A = this chain, B = another copy of it.
Amino acid sequence: MTTSHTVAAFDAELAALRRTIDSMAELVERQVGDAIEALAARDSVRAAAIVKEDAAIDRLEAEVEAMVVRMLALRQPMAKDLREIVSALKIASNLERMGDFAGSVAKRAITLAGLPVAPPLSSLSWMGQMVLGMIRDMRRAYAEQDAALATAVRDRDGEVDAAYTSLFREVLTYMMETPQQISGCTHLLFAAKSIERIGDHATNVAENVCFLVKGRLPSEERHKEDLSSSTVVPPKD
């Protein structure tokens, strides 16, 4: 009976670990969605709430770590169980980073709310929706252990990168035409970069889901289409 009892206890712990990860992911999804809306609506009150709420994600990460260490020490899991537990650590770390970036976007939103800036925001909101869609599907892929969906999430990161590169160029052009809005536009660029990075971390989580389901990472090279670091808008003579 000890063995079946141990197995049942392990299964219960694994289920609790998955629930904690999903709670983290749910909170991250909400925080990212709120940050994108606060940025678009220039809502500094909502943005301040996001900055404050980030601690809840950090606490959940600490909970995941404590669960993992306890399970490793007491249950000595092997094969797929071990893979899932180690992946949980990596997924939690990526989710924590996504939460941090939502906080960064919110901080920029607070600054932008106080500025008379009107740079182009439509492409930013479109990019935000793409990233939110990736987070939703990443959560579903994790919950349903769906490697095909996880691979599809990963493959959408290139679109986010391309959108960011085009936004970078657009905002740079706007800054050159409207130098009095340079502060605001710079904060906008950093907010956009944070959203792009959230997409990168959603991709990392998706890759971890593939790994825990199939025991290997998705085979194809990831498309990298963020060309913003080499984007230059020459001044008009």
Contacts and interface: CB of A to CB of B under 8 A. Distances in A.
Interface string A110-122: 1100110000000
A3 interface: no
Nearest to A183: B232
Q: What interface size band does chain A fall in? A: 35 or more
Contacts of A65: 86
A156 interface: no
B234 A111 contact: no
A229 B232 CA distance: 23
8 contacts: A73-B78, A73-B82, A110-B230, A172-B182, A176-B180, A183-B231, A183-B232, A183-B233
Given A110-B230, A234-B183, A82 B104 contact: no
Nearest to A106: B229
A172 to B, nearest CB: 6
A108 interface: yes
B73 A187 contact: no
Interface in A41-96: 65, 68-69, 72-73, 76, 78, 82-83, 86, 89-90, 93
